[in-house]
Structure 1
């Protein structure tokens, strides 16, 4: 379980994220949604210990993320940020290998190679594993970064807008693969998404943020309502019943 208690980030006297108090249970996919500037990425990066918190506490699987040693945290949770830039020229396999650093410290073992290959296969990158990142499309590179995170083999996986640079086909494939990671590999996936319909279709829980705090938190059925989405996104939304579940239509 991920537990945030009174978590706050202060940027200025009048700019604040939080306080946020919430429990995200183990298992499945939890989607963080909301308008730009709502605090979704801030909350995710604080959980992943890439951003200091100014008040409150965060625990992941019973471990305080502030006080637990980095090496131990890296074996519990992995995180992919929006911006990913490697200066050196790497192949896909070399990039994915970085996900094993908490275990190998740079000296890959046969077990590490197994997890690297597993992640590459899982993201359908086998034919590209020896290609350099600068030879790939933006969507292919994004899949390689997600494979790197999965290769870390942590119970908790945090992803900040992993659908960036993906067209519709590959966005659907990515969400299907993350759904499989939750169902088949037992990962707990927390993901920041801009598309509420992707969140509704693939996630088990939706945490909607607005103005730095939690506006709504519940199942897709509880969140996918006209009045809820209109209030969260500050625009008129109608929820219709599609062939595979509810769909939000903006007008």
Structure 2
């Protein structure tokens, strides 16, 4: 379980995150949703200690994120940010191999190579493993980044808008891969999403943020309500029953 207690980040007198108090359950997918500027990505990066908190505590299980050694933290939580700046002349296999760095220190063993192959296959990248990143489509490249993060083999995985710049078909494909990772690999995935309907379709829990605060947390059935979504997104929302569950429509 990921626990945030009294977590705050102050940017200015007018811009602040928190205090945030929330528990993210172990297992499955938890989607962070909310309007632009709600603080979703900031919360995610604070959980992964990519951004220091001003006060409060973030715990993953019994480990206090602020005090943990980097090498220990890297074995329980992995993060994929929006901005990826890897050298484009890396191959897919080389990129995925970076996920083994906390264990190998850059010297890959035969066991590491087996694990790399496992995640290349899991994300359907075997035909592409020898290609360079700049030879891939956006969807293929994003799958390679997710394979790298999964290859770190942490129980907790943080993903900041992995559907960014993906079309509908590739977004669906990505969410299906993540759903399988949560179920088949037993991962706890926390993901920032802009589309509430993707969250409702694939997430086990939805955590809604607004103005730097958590305003709702629950299952899709609990969150997908006209009044609550209208309040969160500041626009009239009507929830209808779709073929795969509740769908939000905007008016």
Aligned counterparts of 1:165 and 1:108: Cα–Cα separation in 2? 32
Paired residues, what number? 251
Query: Which residue matches 2:106?
Result: 106
Q: TM-score, normalised by structure 1?
A: 0.99
Query: What's the offset of the Cα at 1:86?
Result: 1.3
* Contiguous gaps of at least 5 residues in structure 1: none
Query: What's the offset of the Cα at 1:165?
Result: 2.2
Query: Residues 211-250 of structure 1: matches in 2 within 5 Å?
Result: 211-250=211-250
Query: Which residue matches 1:68?
Result: 68
Aligned counterparts of 2:155 and 2:176: Cα–Cα separation in 1? 18
Instruction: Answer whether contact 2:88 2:134 (CA < 8 A) is retained.
Output: no
Aligned counterparts of 1:114 and 1:29: Cα–Cα separation in 2? 26
Instruction: Answer whether contact 1:89 1:134 (CA < 8 A) is retained.
Output: yes
Equivalent residue of 2:35, what SS?
A: coil
Aligned counterparts of 2:202 and 2:88: Cα–Cα separation in 1? 35
**Does the C-alpha gap of structure 1 residues 171 and 88 become closer, same or farther in structure 2, counting only changes over 3 Å?**
closer
Instruction: Answer whether contact 2:88 2:133 (CA < 8 A) is retained.
Output: no
1:81 aligns with 2:81: yes
Flag as ranges the 4+ runs of structure 1 deviating above 2 A.
none
Query: Residues 102-251 of structure 1: matches in 2 within 5 Å?
Result: 102-251=102-251
Superposition RMSD in Å:
0.8
Query: Which residue matches 2:36?
Result: 36
Instruction: Answer whether contact 1:142 1:164 (CA < 8 A) is retained.
Output: no
Equivalent residue of 1:177, what SS?
A: helix
Aligned counterparts of 1:160 and 1:88: Cα–Cα separation in 2? 21
Aligned counterparts of 2:183 and 2:6: Cα–Cα separation in 1? 31
Aligned counterparts of 2:228 and 2:147: Cα–Cα separation in 1? 34
* Contiguous gaps of at least 5 residues in structure 2: none
Aligned counterparts of 1:137 and 1:243: Cα–Cα separation in 2? 30
Query: Residues 12-31 of structure 1: matches in 2 within 5 Å?
Result: 12-31=12-31
Aligned counterparts of 2:88 and 2:101: Cα–Cα separation in 1? 17
Query: Which residue matches 1:53?
Result: 53
Q: Deviations over 1:39-87 (max 9, x none)?
A: 0000000000100000100001210111010000000000000010113
Aligned counterparts of 2:221 and 2:20: Cα–Cα separation in 1? 23
Aligned counterparts of 1:96 and 1:248: Cα–Cα separation in 2? 36
1:91 aligns with 2:91: yes
Query: What's the offset of the Cα at 1:92?
Result: 0.4
Instruction: Answer whether contact 2:88 2:132 (CA < 8 A) is retained.
Output: no
Q: TM-score, normalised by structure 2?
A: 0.99
Select between 114-123 and 194-203 the one with higher mean Cα deviation.
Answer: 114-123
Instruction: Answer whether contact 2:8 2:56 (CA < 8 A) is retained.
Output: yes
Aligned counterparts of 1:29 and 1:148: Cα–Cα separation in 2? 18
Query: What's the offset of the Cα at 1:88?
Result: 5.7
